[in-house]
Amino acid sequence: MAKFQTSPETRSVRLLKVGEQVRHILSELLTRQEVHDDVLSAHTVSVTEVRMSPDLRHATVFVKALLGEDEAIVLKALRTNTAFFQREVAQRLRLKYAAKLKFLPDESFDEANRIEQLLSDPKVLRDLED
């Protein structure tokens, strides 16, 4: 029987796949409003990325409230309902261990906006024209 060889590339692919599955599950839970929280029901929350630890026991979940409104309130509501999300993810994924979820705000949109403003600066535009 041939033994399956694991390499850093295949492990990272597995981490990406599991992270994407967790992202889909969380997005589905939030879209269908399966969590009974008034704050989460009133806001549209986007799960932009999930990063899994190499042992799949921890997941960092990056979220963004629609238009960035009430981000602190939404994060507090997500963190309050972490046990519900962990239980649902564990049941649907059927992995050996249930991942501990950690919710963080996604600041990539803010960073992209900052870079866009820098590139639209007249001094930079002048250098980019030729």
Entry pTM: 0.76
CA nearest neighbour of 18 among 126, 98, 105: 98
> How confident is the model over 29-85, as pLDDT tens digits?
999 988 888 888 888 899 999 999 998 899 999 998 887 678 889 999 999 999 999
3-state secondary structure of 8: helix
Q: How far apart are CA 113 and CA 105, in angstroms?
A: 15
Dihedral sign (CA 84, 87, 92, 98): positive
> How confident is the model over 81-101, as pLDDT tens digits?
999 999 999 999 988 788 999
